[in-house]
């Protein structure tokens, strides 16, 4: 019995020490948890200023090094916000779509008026972009009826877009039958009434376009230009990066309130480059110039809720010496990861002279680079080329699915798809 008595006293002596050790362990765990929560809060507060991704955070982007990432991104949502109902619904719709329908949704194409309905039925297009000639000799009722016919022909509602920037680019309002005078440029509006005039103009423009059946305005121009000799100057806000950022933020917020789609352009920033409609342009500026200047209006637009970003055909040597930005994986990774953009990325028109590849090669390269939507004129050549690349394994269907999810989410947000 004596050994048992000693053992009993020994246990009594050890018990407080054991309990004290356990208490410290729980306190340490609590401290660690609090530290992690603080770190996550700081990351959220910093937004795009902190480019380090939390490995536990769920993001929508395509990795350049992990092939499996393509299989995991469809329908993915930010872990801090829970399930996104738009993405859930988009995933449901995706399940019933054929490969041809999915690829078609990635094409936002220049309208061919005479064959518009037939092209929708044959290619399952994601949307049409209308240019000035499409409104020539038309009436408001005529355009409304035409767009309704196109929408009725499409099993998935179409994005219907224009470039109605104001000033030098007015596809619709330049015709008096639609508006008594063209919309003014951002520079002229700001001179007349500051940001309040910009807000009022954006609201009026959105109502004007939506009334015709147009649900996307390919605007605002985010390029920073203060030199009147720059090609892009007259289309830009004409002021330094900080002021341009405030302009972009204002426009995007008003467009979102109005329920019309927005497009930030021309990423990563046009600078003083030449016109890529007529030839190639090479931008040799240092990368820091983009970080400290050109990226700022895009960051402002993204934080304000922009739906899409259009990527230019400029070759930006600080990011990719060989490929136009629209065909560069590196440039797209900057947009996804450094600027934390989760929406739709689209090319500038693939028929522009700055793209030296044949149209079929450019379409495949554009998707491989990370574009969700291809702005295209020669879609009857490009869509078969993309389908062929998928069937050959050059492009993965999982990547197509990821992009189509983003397109469907955009349509759901705009209220054109249920």
Full DSSP string of 97-111 = --HHHHHHHTEEEE-
Q: What percent of the chain has pLDDT over 90?
A: 75
Mark out the alpha helices in 270-328 (DSSP H runs).
287-289, 295-304
Phi and psi, residue 108, nearest 5° = -110, 100
Predicted confidence at residue 274, as pLDDT, reads 60
Predicted confidence at residue 99, as pLDDT, reads 98
- Give the Cα-Cα-Cα angle 154, 160, 163 (nearest 5 degrees): 160
Name residues of the chain where pLDDT drops below 50. Answer: 1-82
CA 349: distance to chain centroid?
Answer: 15
Residue 161 in contact with residue 130, Cβ under 8 Å?
yes
pLDDT tens readout for residues 141-195: 999 999 999 999 999 999 999 999 999 999 999 999 999 999 999 999 999 999 9
Predicted confidence at residue 372, as pLDDT, reads 98
Predicted confidence at residue 47, as pLDDT, reads 33
Predicted confidence at residue 281, as pLDDT, reads 86
Predicted confidence at residue 358, as pLDDT, reads 63
Max Cα separation, the chain?
Answer: 112
- DSSP strand pairing (216-217 vs 164-166): unpaired
Cα(16)–Cα(151) distance, integer angstroms: 76
Can you state the percent helix, strand and coil of the chain, rounding each to 5?
55, 10, 35
């Amino acid at each position: 019995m004596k050994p048992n008595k000693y053992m009993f006293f020994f246990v009594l002596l050890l018990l407080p020490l054991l309990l004290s050790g356990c208490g410290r362990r729980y306190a340490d765990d609590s401290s660690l948890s609090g530290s992690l929560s603080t770190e996550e809060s700081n990351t959220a507060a910093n937004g795009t200023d902190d480019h380090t991704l939390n490995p536990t955070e769920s993001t929508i982007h395509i990795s350049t090094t992990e092939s499996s990432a393509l299989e995991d991104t469809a329908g993915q949502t930010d872990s801090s916000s829970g399930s996104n109902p738009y993405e859930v619904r988009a995933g449901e719709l995706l399940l019933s779509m054929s490969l041809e329908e999915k690829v078609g949704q990635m094409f936002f194409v220049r309208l061919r008026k005479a064959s518009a309905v037939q092209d929708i039925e044959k290619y399952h297009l994601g949307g049409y972009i209308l240019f000035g000639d499409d409104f020539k000799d038309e009436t408001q009722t005529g355009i409304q009826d035409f767009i309704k016919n196109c929408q009725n022909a499409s099993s998935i509602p179409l994005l219907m877009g224009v470039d109605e920037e104001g000033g030098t680019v007015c596809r619709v309002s330049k015709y008096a039958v639609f508006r008594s005078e063209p919309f003014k440029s951002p520079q002229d509006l700001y001179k007349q009434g500051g940001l309040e005039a910009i807000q009022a103009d954006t609201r009026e423009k959105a109502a004007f376009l939506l009334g015709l059946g147009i649900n996307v305005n390919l605007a605002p121009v985010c390029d920073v230009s203060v030199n009147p000799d720059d090609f892009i100057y007259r289309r830009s806000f004409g002021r330094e990066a900080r002021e341009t950022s405030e302009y972009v933020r204002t426009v995007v917020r008003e467009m979102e309130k109005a329920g019309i789609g927005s497009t930030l352009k021309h990423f990563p920033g046009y600078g003083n480059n030449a016109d890529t409609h007529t030839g190639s342009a090479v931008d040799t500026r240092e990368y820091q110039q983009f970080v400290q200047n050109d990226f700022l209006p895009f960051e402002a637009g993204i934080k304000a809720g922009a739906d899409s970003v259009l990527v230019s055909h400029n070759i930006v040597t600080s990011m990719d010496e060989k490929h136009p930005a629209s065909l560069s994986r590196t440039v797209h990774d900057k947009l996804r990861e450094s600027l934390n953009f989760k929406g739709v990325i689209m090319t500038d028109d693939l028929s522009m002279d700055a793209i030296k590849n044949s149209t079929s090669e450019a379409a495949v390269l554009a998707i491989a680079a990370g574009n969700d939507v291809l702005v295209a004129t020669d879609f009857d050549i490009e869509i078969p080329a993309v389908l062929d690349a998928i069937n050959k394994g050059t492009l993965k269907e999982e990547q197509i699915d990821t992009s189509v999810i983003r397109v469907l989410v955009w349509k759901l947000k705009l209220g054109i798809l249920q």
